[in-house]
Structure 1
Amino acid sequence: MILLVPADSLRPRRPDDHFAAEAQAARALGIDVALVDHDRITRPGGAEEAVRRVHAEGIAVYRGWMVRSERYAEFADALRRRNIVLRTTPDQYRRAHELPGWYAELSDLTPRSVWTTGTARAEFDRARQRLGAGPAVLRDYTKSMKHYWNDAAFMPETGDDAAAWRVASRFRELRGVDLTGGFVLRAYEPFISAEIRTWWIGGSCHLIGPHPDSPEETPSPGFEAAIAQQPIRDLGLPFVTADFALRADGTWRLIELGDGQVSDRPRTIPPETLVGALRDEFAPAGPGSAAPGNE
C-alpha cells in the first residue's frame, strides 16, 4: 500500500504539517509514502504535474485536503498512468463525498433532505416546497457553513420565502467558487451531544472517536455502530467516515457521511491507529495479490 499525502507548499519535499504525523506513522509501519501537490490537483488539468514526484507502484490511499469530485477523477487518471491505483475509485469518491450519492441508502438514519441542481431561486423555492414547512438547515452537496449558523445555515421557517432566500443567498456568497452541486435543505432536528466521528474501512467500523470540531469530547458509551452497519456496508465504499449526534429524544442520528481520505482526523486519535487500520485492510496479502480496477 502507498499513502499519498500533500506536500508542504513551501517545502515540497516534506509533507504538509497537517498530515506529517500520518506520513511518519506510515513509514514506521513499513508503508510507502509519496507526496503530491494539492494546489495542482485542484486546478483543471493540473493532476499530471501534481503527481510527478510519485514513483512507487501499487494500490494507494490518499490522506489529504478535500478536492472536488471531478478533480479527484483527474487525479486518479494521472496516477493510473503511473501504475498506481487509488483504492477508492472516482465513482466511489463522489458517492461518499456528495450527499446525493449516499442519501437514499442512509435516509432512515439522517434528517430528511431535498436538493437542487444549481443555485437558481426557482429551484430553491421548489425544494422548499418539497421539504415542507418548518425549520431547516442549508448546505451544498459537500459542506455546510455551520460556523455562520444564523446567517447562512439555519432557516427558522422554510415557508418564509424572503427570509429563507436571504440565508441561501448568504450561503452562496460565502461558499463562492467552492459551492458544489446545489442547495441541500435538511429538516432541522435538535441535538444534545457533540458529534462523534466513526471510521469505516471495508464496510466495517474500525474506529469511534471525537469529531475534529470537539477533539476533547469523549464519545458517549451509549453509541452502537451496529445501527449503521448494514446500510453503510451496502454502499460498497472502501473508506468512509460517518458523523453522528444524539437527538433530543435519545436517538442517534447520522449528520454526515464523507470519504475517509479527505476527512480530518482529530488529534486525540493517534495517527498510527488510523494508518495501521488502513494497512491491515488494504495492503495486498501476498505476491499473488492484484490491484482492483479503477472503474
Structure 2
Amino acid sequence: MILLVPADVLHPRRPDEHFAAEAEAARAAGLEVALIDHDAAAGPGGAEQAVRAVRTGGPAWYRGWMLRSEQYAALDAALRRRGVTLRTGPEQYRRAHELPGWYSALAALTPRTVWTAGDDYAEFDRARAELGSGPAVLRDYTKSMKHYWAEAAYIPELDDAEASRRVARRFRELRGEDMTGGFVLRRFERFVSAEVRTWWVDGRCAMIGPHPDTPDDLPAVEVDVAALGGPIADLGLPFVTADFALRDDGTRRLIELGDGQVSDRPASIPPEILIAALSGGLPDGSPHTGAGGSS
C-alpha cells in the first residue's frame, strides 16, 4: 500500500507540513510514501508533472488538499500510467466529493436539498421555487461560504427573490473560479451541537471525533454506527467522512458527506489511527473515538 501526500512547496522532497505526521506514521507502519506536486495537479494539464516523483507501483490512498473531480481523474490516469491504482476511483471520488453524488441515497438523514447545473440565475430561481418558502442555506456542489454567513450563505426567506439573489451573487463572487457544479439550496435546520466527524473505510466506521472547525469540542452527538452502516456502506465508497449534528428537536442529522482522502483530520485523532484504518490494521469492534484536542 502507498500513501500519496502533497510535497512541501519550498522543500519538494519533504511532505507538506500539514500531512507530515501522517506520512511519518505511514512509514512506521510499513507503507510506502510518495510525494505529489499538488499545485501541478490542480493546474491545467499538470497531472503528469504532479506525479513525476512517484517511483513505486501498487494500490494507493491519497491524503492531501482538495482537488476538483476532473483534476482527480487526471491524477488517477497519470498514476495508472506509473502502475499506481488509487483505491478510490475517479467516479467514486466525485460521488463522495460532490453533493449530488450522495444526496439521494442519504436524503432521509439530511436537510432537503435542490440544486442547479451551472450558475444561471434563472435556474437559481427555479431551484428556489422548488424548495419552497422558508429559510435556506446556499452552497455549491462541494463547499459553502459559511464564514460569510449573513452575506453569502444564509437566505432568511426564499420567497424574497431580491434578497435571495443578492446572497447568490455574493456567493458566486466569493467562490470565483472555485465554483463547482452549480447553486445548491438546502432547507435551513437549527442545530444545537457542534458537528462530529465520522470516518468510514469500506463501509465500516473506523473513527469518530470532533469536526476540524471545532477541534476542542468533544463529540456530543451519539452516532448510531450500526444503523448508519447500511446506508453508508450501500454507497460503495471506499473512504468517506460523514459529519453529524443534533437538530433542536434532538434528531441526529447528516450535515455533509465527503471523500475521506481530502477531509481534514483533527489533532485529537492520532495519525497512527488513521493509517491503521486505511491499511486494515484496526481490530474489529467499536470505532476509535477522539477525545478532543487542539488543531
Query: TM tier, shorter chain?
Result: over 0.9
Alpha-carbon distance between aligned partners in 1 of 2:45 and 2:241, rounded to the nearest angstrom:
28
Q: Distance in 2 between matches of 1:112 and 1:281?
A: 37
Q: Deviations over 1:88-127 (max 9, x none)?
A: 0000000000000000000000000000011111000000
Q: Deviations over 1:196-255 (max 9, x none)?
A: 000000011010000000111111263322332111111000000000000000010000
Long gaps (5+) in structure 2? 283-295
CA contact (8 A) 1:109 1:254 kept: yes
For 1:64 and 1:152, locate their aligned partners in 2 and report how far apart those are by CA, in whole Å: 27
Asked if 2 retains the 8 angstrom alpha-carbon contact of 1:115 and 1:184, the reply is yes
For each residue in 1:27-60, what CA deviation from the matched residue of structure 2 results, as whole angstroms up to 9, or x when unmatched? Answer: 0111100000000000121000100000111000
1:114 maps to which residue?
114
Query: Which residue does 1:235 correspond to in 2?
Result: 235
Contact 2:35 2:54 in 1 (8 A): yes
Please give the alpha-carbon distance, in whole angstroms, between the structure 2 residues aligned to 1:158 and 1:10: 47
Q: CA contact under 8 A between 2:41 and 2:75: conserved in structure 1?
A: yes
Other-structure match for 1:86: 86
Q: Is the 8 A contact 2:221 2:244 kept in 1?
A: no
Is 1:219 the counterpart of 2:222 in the alignment? no
Which residue number corresponds to residue 16 of structure 1?
16
Once the two structures are superposed, residues 154-205 of structure 1 have per-residue CA deviations (whole angstroms, 9 ceiling, x without a partner) of 0000010000000000000000000000000000000000000000000110
- Going from structure 1 to structure 2, the CA distance change for 1:92 and 1:221 (only over 3 Å counts) comes to closer
In the alignment, residue 105 of structure 1 is paired with which amino acid?
Answer: A
On the 8 A contact 2:210/2:216 being kept in 1, the answer is: yes
Q: Give, in whole Å, the separation in 2 of the partners of 1:18 and 1:85.
A: 24
Contact 2:221 2:252 in 1 (8 A): no
1:5 and 1:63 in contact (8 A); partners too: yes
Question: Where in structure 2 are the equivalents of 1:226-265 lying within 5 Å?
Answer: 226-265=226-265
CA contact (8 A) 1:201 1:281 kept: no
- Indicate the residue corresponding to 1:132 in structure 2: 132
Change beyond 3 A, Cα 1:281–1:270? closer
TM (norm. structure 1) is 0.94
Q: How do 1:1-295 residues align onto structure 2 when only pairs under 5 Å count?
A: 1-220=1-220, 222-280=222-280
**Matching residue's letter, 1:14:** R
SS of aligned partner of 1:207: strand
- Structure 1, unaligned stretches of length 5 or more? 283-295
Contact 1:202 1:281 in 2 (8 A): no
1:280 is paired with a residue of what secondary structure? Answer: coil
Q: Identity of aligned pairs, percent?
A: 68
SS of the equivalent of 2:129 reads helix
TM superposition score normalised by structure 2 = 0.94
Given that 1:134 and 1:156 are in contact with CA atoms closer than 8 Å, whether structure 2 keeps it comes out as yes
2 CA distance for matches of 1:83 and 1:44? 23
CA RMSD between the two structures: 1.0
